[in-house]
């Protein structure tokens, strides 16, 4: 189910090229049994999927075993240096994410749980039906969302909780039977009907439906055809007055790194009040530039919760201060 991610495909490609280079190397272990090197690919797949679910220790163990596997399987082969050089992306990930106990993980590690959200180039929809890339949304802009009765409504962008156009992270890519597709980070809340939202990593294509905006302007359920994981660059967390957003015609919450949509919506109420006050006094800047980083309010709220660590674990999936 979790396929199509770049590292796994890169690995398979590299191993295929390597297999073409071993015929003239009598001391190469792979020459006797070329299928033995495929065991390294299995290590890659299992560890990477576990990492996207928040088990970074599993990824680090995988990375160490994977590199040792290749070192053993390719020793004495013509393609030895080529194979190792081609795994620079996996090595870079392990350097950013695998640290000693007590050390702080790099902010650039794509597995770090922080308020990520939608892929930058996915599309929101205006009330007039125009598509707007997430990266181009402006505070005060009107977009389509769903209300607490699961009805499609027009709402307004009130703020951005997180915006990063240069950073990479892993996305769960959901493709429905109707051909719609949406990319969200693993802890992002997705709407599955009956006022219910669950994190992307817990969605099961055999048990859950996603809800799409039909041609009649109403929500309708659609079965999930596939769930893939890919490393992509750029993500943003726009929030609306209703706390929801329709992206690529698929309905979703605006919130991530939290277990309950309603709790997230209540927690972000001060941002909605502040935006409303700015509207009253006519000081909303619709051309305000969105800067990279995490908004000070959710950062402060998260860091306060983590003072009381057991309490933080009840409400949020972040691993500490952000």
DSSP assignment of 50-91 equals HHHTT-HHHHHHHHHHHHHHHHHHTTT-TTHHHHHHTTHHHH
CATH number of 118-292: 2.170.16.10
pLDDT of residue 50: 56
Cβ atoms 57, 94 nearer than 8 A: no
In the chain, domain spans? 6-97, 118-292
β-bridge partners, 143:
155
How would you classify residue 205: left for phi > 0, otherwise alpha for psi between -120 and 50, otherwise beta?
alpha
pTM for this entry? 0.70
pLDDT of residue 285: 76
DSSP-derived secondary structure letter, 148: T
Cβ atoms 263, 317 nearer than 8 A: no
Q: What is the pLDDT along the chain (322 residues), one digit of tens a residue?
A: 444 455 555 454 444 444 444 444 556 655 545 555 555 655 455 555 555 555 566 667 767 776 677 666 666 665 555 555 556 666 666 666 676 666 665 555 655 555 568 999 999 999 999 999 999 999 999 999 999 999 999 999 999 999 999 888 889 999 999 999 999 998 899 999 999 999 998 999 999 999 999 988 899 999 999 999 888 899 999 999 999 999 999 999 999 988 899 999 999 999 999 999 988 888 877 767 678 888 888 888 888 877 876 666 666 766 566 6
Query: Alpha-carbon distance 44 to 67, whole Å?
Result: 10
Query: Alpha-carbon distance 155 to 239, whole Å?
Result: 10
Cβ atoms 171, 252 nearer than 8 A: no
The two counts, helices (H) then strands (E), for the chain are: 10, 13
pLDDT of residue 132: 97
Sequence-distant (6+) residues with CB within 8 A of 62 are 43, 44, 46, 47, 48, 50, 51
| Tokens, residue 272 | 């909605």
């Amino acid at each position: 189910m979790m396929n199509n991610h770049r590292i796994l495909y890169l690995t398979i490609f590299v191993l295929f090229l390597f297999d073409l280079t071993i015929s003239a190397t009598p001391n190469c272990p792979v020459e006797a049994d070329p299928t033995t090197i495929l065991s390294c690919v299995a290590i890659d797949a299992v560890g990477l999927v576990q990492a996207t679910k928040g088990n970074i220790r599993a990824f680090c163990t995988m990375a160490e075993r994977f590199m040792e596997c290749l070192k053993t399987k390719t020793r004495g082969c013509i393609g030895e240096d080529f194979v190792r050089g081609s795994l620079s992306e996996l090595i870079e990930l392990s350097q950013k994410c695998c640290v000693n106990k007590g050390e702080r993980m790099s902010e650039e590690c794509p597995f770090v749980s922080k308020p990520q959200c939608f892929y930058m180039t996915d599309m929101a929809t205006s009330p007039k039906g125009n598509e707007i890339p997430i990266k181009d949304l402006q505070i005060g802009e009107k977009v389509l969302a769903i209300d607490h009765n699961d009805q499609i409504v027009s709402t307004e962008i009130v703020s951005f909780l997180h915006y990063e156009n240069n950073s990479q992270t892993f996305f769960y890519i959901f493709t429905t039977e109707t051909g719609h597709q949406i990319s969200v980070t693993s802890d992002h809340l997705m709407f599955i009907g009956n006022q219910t939202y669950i994190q992307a990593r817990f969605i099961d294509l055999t048990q859950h439906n996603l809800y799409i905006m039909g041609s009649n302007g109403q929500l309708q359920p659609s079965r999930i055809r596939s769930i893939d994981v890919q490393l992509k660059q750029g993500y943003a967390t726009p929030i609306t007055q209703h706390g929801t957003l329709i992206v690529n015609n698929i309905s979703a919450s605006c919130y991530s790194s939290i277990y309950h949509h309603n709790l997230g919506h209540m927690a972000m109420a001060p941002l909605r009040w502040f935006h409303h006050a700015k509207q009253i006094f006519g000081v909303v800047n619709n051309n305000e530039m969105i800067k990279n980083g995490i908004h000070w309010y959710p950062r402060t709220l998260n860091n306060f919760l983590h003072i009381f660590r057991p309490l933080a674990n009840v409400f949020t999936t972040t691993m500490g201060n952000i």
